[in-house]
Structure 1
Amino acid sequence: MRFLQIAAAHLDICKMTDQSRNAWIIKDDPRLVSARQKDFFVDILDDRRHTSDLAWSLRQRDEPKYQYNKPRSPAEVKGHVLKSDRVKYAIEKTMEETGKSLEEVTKEAVYIVDEMAHNLRVGVIRCFAMVLVKVMKKLFERIYVNEEAIQNVRAMLKEYPILLMPSHRSYLDFLLMSYVFYHYDLPLPVIAAAMDFMGMKFFGWLLRNSGAFYIRRSFGDDQLYWAVFTEYVQTHICNGDSPVEFFVEGTRSRTQKSLPPRIGMLSASLEPYFKAQVPDIMVVPVSMSYDRVLEEKLYAYELLGVPKPKESASGVFKARSILSENYGNVHIFIGEPKSIRTYSIGQISRISHSISPRYIASLTFREQALIQKLSYDVLLQQIRNMAMSPWSIIAAVLLQNMDGISMKELLKEVDWLKRQASNLGAYIDWPVNESAEAVIRHNIFTHKNIATVTEDNVVELIAEDTSLTQNQDPLFTSAAQEMMVCLYRNQLLNVFVRVALIAIPINSCVQETMPLSELKAHYSLLEKLLSREFIFMPGDAEKDFDVALASLTHTCGVVVENDCVLVKKSINKYTTFFSQMFEPFLLGYWAMCRYLLSIEKGSHGKPLVKLPKTISKEAQVLSAQLIRDGHVKRKEILSLDMMSNSLQALYDLGAVHKEKREGTSYMYPNLVLLSKLTEDLCKFIDVPDLPRTTINVDTKTVTVNAKL
């Protein structure tokens, strides 16, 4: 039977891979998870609360050195870059294409490397370390690190170049990584930082002197910049000056979900191995988990379309009030290193580069495919190693009880959801020596700006005081509060996404049975549709489906007989809760579809083309009207990130076309395919019946030709 094959596949996969650090659990008891997880971590703030910060920052540090390293100053690194064959070649090509003189182009190259390069200085680092540790003690209760992995990194630093690839949820990510490495007497990483930070006056200088090197967000076809950037990164790797740190997501995740990988930096970093300039490179994924994110309110408003403030020194000083807040714990999990030599066995041949100069950028198709796969592997490993705060579980329950929930009921629901998350491999940071109610009350107090416990012992979300934000639309002000709760719920979604994409079709099915082939087709469609929201390994859809279905049948009451799901017997609390967690995404995508179908046609009979940002903004206007008219309750669908992701997913599926005009991309709907996808979405969720609509984004109005 197909069901037995799926179950066997699930068991084999669990044996072959370390799917979860909770895999040793035999009984469904979340207390075991908590007792075990503290074995992994050490609180590195504990000593700092009892000994001198000055003595700690000025102590003698014993840093391991790469065996082939030749010590160089930052100025010598810049000199090497400018004298390299790669940059000389790029200068010649630029001269040919632009007609500029050697002096002019060389001056441009010098400017680029001066703008980019770090200026790592021990004295500055020691001063920064002393200030940073005081800030950390103010912000956080504990900073946990899996110390055993640190010792592995120490040993590897002597043997291999190291690439550090942390998850990116906050501005604090790179500061915390540097703090951890300073604490453990490891060489501080050089960090790829966005140009935004360079303009922060004193702080830009401080970061540069602490190891940050600044790169532009987009290089376009500027081959001189590409050459300087590539050589600068690769010389650090080949000489092993310092670990190189960058974020494979490219930017902070405002939603607290992992972003699809951007592989430009990774490609440049791995090229020295492909071209046999180094014997191996070790890639180290790092998972950064926050109980509470400093930028939570900023993220909420950014997602709704309020522009983020420009990074500035004055902004940092204005934000010093955060030092009076409690941001809970941070968990930093150093993941299992990946040897590129081992990872690429049987997939690439380095001989292919022997006939062309190393300084000419060239990666084979196989190498590009390997880099793409590695980037997803790193993201998935980061996700698996995240530590889930109790607040993430509480937030997920509160979002399904928007009118409030009694403490007694909340305790029961949180305990149930915690067990489901643990069974699926989540790593729960749940204290073992406190009662469940004490843990929940502590987390609500930490997030007292979002939730509260009433005198009647009911837990409610706090409505934003609109009198404090008179210039904001009241709908968007209240939506920002809900969006903040969603940020923390989102941390949990990666745990449930695969089982939910099976639960949704089951829960919405009106037939008594559903063939597994049909269920798999629904799963495949939903995975493709949400591929911009969640991380799925390309090509693994069938394996993911089999494992998720096995989980549902083993622990969640889904019944499969004769290669069919028995729908009535399978719909239960598990499938319903999992479905409801993800319904806002499908509702938001449906709103985008309905907006696209409402776009007026031009004189040629084809829908008018529009800029992607305009489409997202106008779809948001439609969503806002649906909420105001009471047809939709979840304000999460106002997220411009969701609108943008849905538009891109529809483009990937062929339901939206793209065309360029004078270098600018415009989009318009493929009405036939888009209509079919809209119908499919309506099968999975309840949606309001909308007539034809027209939207004016400037006046933020939606006009319909009949009452909704």
Structure 2
Amino acid sequence: MKREETFKDILKPRNTHFGIVKFMTRSWSPRKCISNGLNYSSEEIKNAVSKSVFLDSIIEAESAKSGVCKEQLKKEIATYLDEIALDKKMHVVRWMGVFFLKMAFMMKIGIFVNEASVLKLRETLGENPVLFLPTHRSYADFCLMTYLCYHYDIELPAVAAGMDFYSMAVVGQSMRETGAFYIRRSLAGAHLYASTLRQYIHELVSKYTLPVEFFVEGTRSRSNKSLPPKYGILTMTLTPYFTREVDDITIVPVNISYDRLMEQGLFAYEHLGVPKPKETTGGLLKALRSLNDHFGNVYISVGEPLSLKKFIGRPEFSTELSKPSAFQQLTDAQLKSVQNVAHQAVLMQQENTVVTISNLLSIVLMGSLYKNKLLDFEEVLVEMGWVIKVLRTLGASVFENDVRSSVERVLVVHRSMVTLDKDKKLRLVSSALREVDSGVQMNMKGHILKAQTMVSAVPIVQLQLYVNPVLHYLVPPAILYLIVRRGSIEKGELQSTYKDIRRMLSNEFYHLQENEDRTFNKALEYCTQNQVVVASGTTFSDGTDQRLQDLLQWARAVKRVQELVEERGLHPYCLSLEAAGNCLQGLVMAGAAARRKICGRTDN
């Protein structure tokens, strides 16, 4: 059982206009990541990158290969740096902070932080570079991490941002001036750009005093679950350690949990195939008008810092070390170490999940929907108390002391999704009928669902978004139980079958393969202790079979799954393109399905 941490609402002292302005204009002397580091300006970093030995060699090689003169290539690099580089301006930070706090109070949110962990982290700063690796469930993650650092007098991070924001009028430049640097989504076929980006990040990590922040999952999780990590930016940020330019790098995993996601409606429609709308300043201003509502609490759980040196050891000796640091390439073993760090970071993010009242209420309501039995308010409280005990036994951190008042609060927060009817029964609120115009239909993924199907599916998908963050605690014993239910089974076969299923579902439920023996044993112990399964020596019994997904083709299969769900009235979350896609990937990994080319398209 996990030790419960104390969380503090850091917005509470700022509950007046005077409190906001006074706080954001105060004298501010932040703790730097490298106390003896150089206070480079944004322009000085760009100059250091453009004049680096590494880029000189790239220019030399590119000029010889393409015939383009060196001066032209230098101008191209300068253009890339103008696109990439942050340009932090403290007066912009302060006024953006005022705007952020005013929005937070308009949205009636509380920002709860495990303060003891943050203060402990701050005391360790000054020796080596720091990487903040938060979960990415909302666009608000950017603002929350920056405000957290400002609140606790930690140097504001340099934040990797996607190009979606780059072209947004006012917003793109404002983000740059509060610490964002921009990264293209794909580096394929852009060798000079990729080299410039690599060197820029190298300079940030090895010589700058700011922490560097990026989302190791690479994108927002539309399912509100952990995604498999990406390795690109992490490799760039860890390279100075492997080239022995820094003695260590501190990695700080952060989990950000929301009572209510601003994007829950958009995410639900994306699951059903409606494409994500393009980010524009006009769209943002329109969205801001809808934020004058109750959005509940946000929980920022800062994890135990991970020392890279302690986790992977000192860099191994290789012939690469005989080269100048700028020209060293990571060895296969070092690249494997980067992958291990990425997976460990996501695992630590999961371990720092804060189970919110929204998660608990959604689990209880989803259970009542499965059973087709409505629960009254008092029954809901009893069920939630039981769920809290189950989750805490499985190692979850549940931030709830007064369940009754929290449920009353979150029913206001989620009044568009759940409600108590006139008989005080907990019900799901139907979605408004939304017709998808022909322009959007042309870009939809999968089967184009009927409007009435959307009405039924959207509330269920939204509800599932709040169940998903805690599934990594429940999935191991659930899979084990489903295997045992089909008939008596020996422990060895049970463990083998369990691992096979976990591998197939690895894209849907993130986990570390090397931890599976321990996870299996803990799940088995939990199931036997709580009489979920019955043990007779090394034989376990009870249950029914778990049906696997049909062997379906990749893109066309997803469309057919949606068609069948619509025709047969199956559970609406089966309509999720992401869930269907993840299951198909699992079948490919298991050898139960295979990719093949159909009319120039890769299918399964």
Q: Which residue of 1 aligns with 2:582?
A: 645
Counterpart of 1:685? none
Residues 654, 87 of structure 1: alpha-carbon distance in 2 compared, 3 angstrom cutoff: farther
Displacement of 1:55 in angstroms is 1.3
Could you tell me which residue of structure 2 aligns to residue 175 of structure 1?
Answer: 143
Counterpart in the other structure of 1:478: 456
Match of 2:246 among 244, 255, 278: 278
How big is each residue's C-alpha offset from its partner over 1:508-563, in whole Å with a ceiling of 9 and x where there is no partner?
A: x1x3x211112112201110110001121132222221121112222344322221
User: Any idea what SS the aligned residue of 1:88 has?
Assistant: helix
Distance 2:423 2:595 in 1: 55
2:541 aligned with 1:566, yes or no? yes
Q: 1:394 aligns with which of 348, 361, 370?
A: 361
* Residue of structure 2 in register with 1:331 after alignment: 299
Q: Distance in 2 between matches of 1:379 and 1:467?
A: 36
**Residues 616-695 of structure 1 correspond to what in structure 2 (within 5 A)?**
616=555, 618-630=556-568, 632-658=569-595, 666-668=602-604
Matches within 5 A, 1:514-529: 514-529=489-504
Determine whether 1:543 maps to 2:543. Answer: no
Which deviates more, 551-560 or 388-397? 551-560
1:590 is paired with a residue of what secondary structure? coil
- CA 1:222 to 1:123, structure 2 compared with 1: closer, same or farther past 3 Å? same
Using the alignment, how far apart are the partners of 2:24 and 2:86 within structure 1?
Answer: 21
2:112 paired with 1:144: yes
Identity %: 31
1:102 aligns with 2:70: yes
C-alpha distance in structure 2 between counterparts of 1:660 and 1:349, whole Å: 43
Which residue is equivalent to 1:429? 399
Alpha-carbon distance between aligned partners in 2 of 1:474 and 1:99, rounded to the nearest angstrom: 60
| Candidates 374, 396, 409, aligned match of 1:405 | 374
Deviation at 1:470, TM superposition (A): 8.4
| SS of equivalent to 1:401 | helix
The number of equivalent residue pairs is 588
Q: What is the TM-score with the length of structure 2 in the denominator?
A: 0.93
Q: Note if contact 2:86-2:177 (Cα within 8 Å) is conserved in structure 1.
A: yes
Could you tell me whether the CA contact under 8 Å between 2:434 and 2:455 is conserved in 1? Answer: no
Q: Deviation at 1:651?
A: 2.5
Separation of aligned partners in 2, 1:287 and 1:122 = 27
What is residue 680 of structure 1 aligned with on the other side? none
- Structure 1 residues 390 and 496: CA distance shift in structure 2, 3 A: same
Higher deviation after alignment, 331-340 or 56-65: 56-65
Distance in 2, matches of 1:398 and 1:99, equals 66
Structure 1 position 656, deviation (Å): 3.5
Report the AA paired with residue 21 of structure 1: K
Cα pair distance change 1:544/1:522, threshold 3 Å: same
Cα gap change, 1:110/1:656 in structure 2, threshold over 3 Å: closer, same or farther? farther
**1:493-532 correspondence runs (5 A):** 493-507=471-485, 509=486, 511=487, 513-532=488-507
Flag the 1:237–1:310 CA change in 2: closer, same or farther, 3 A: same
Give the drift of 1:151: 1.9
SS in structure 2 of the partner of residue 168 of structure 1: coil
Give the 3 Å change call, closer, same or farther, for CA 364–243 of structure 1 in structure 2: same
Whether the 8 Å CA contact 1:68–1:240 is kept in 2: the answer is no
**Counterparts of 2:327 and 2:592, CA distance in 1:** 39
When residues 660 and 61 of structure 1 are mapped into structure 2, their CA distance, relative to the original with a 3 A threshold, is: farther
- Partners of 2:176 and 2:517 lie apart in 1 by 46
Q: Report which stretch shifted further, 331-340 or 101-110.
A: 101-110
1:352 deviation in Å? 4.5
Aligned to 1:4: none
Worse-superposed segment, 72-81 or 462-471: 462-471
1:311-337 alpha-carbon deviations (Å, 9 max, x no partner): 111111101223321111111111100
Q: What is the DSSP-based 3-state SS (H/G/I as helix, E as strand, rest coil) of the residue aligned with 2:326?
A: coil
C-alpha spacing 1:344/1:431, structure 2 compared with 1 (3 Å): same
Q: 1:259, 1:535 within 8 Å by CA — same for their partners in 2? A: yes
- The aligned counterpart of 2:2 is 21
Residue 44 of structure 1, aligned match among 3, 7, 10: 10
Gaps (5+ residues) in structure 2?
Answer: 439-449
Cα distance in 2 for partners of 1:176, 1:298 equals 21
- Residue in 1 that maps onto 2:98: 130
- Asked whether the equivalents of residues 396 and 489 of structure 1 are also in contact (C-alpha less than 8 Å), the reply is yes
**Amino acid of the structure 1 residue aligned with 2:602:** Y
TM-score of the aligned structures, taking structure 1 as reference length:
0.79
User: Which residue, out of 344, 360, 365, partners 2:332?
Assistant: 365
- Report SS of the residue matched to 1:539: helix
- Provide the aligned C-alpha RMSD in A: 2.2
Cα distance in structure 2, aligned partners of 1:124 and 1:470: 40
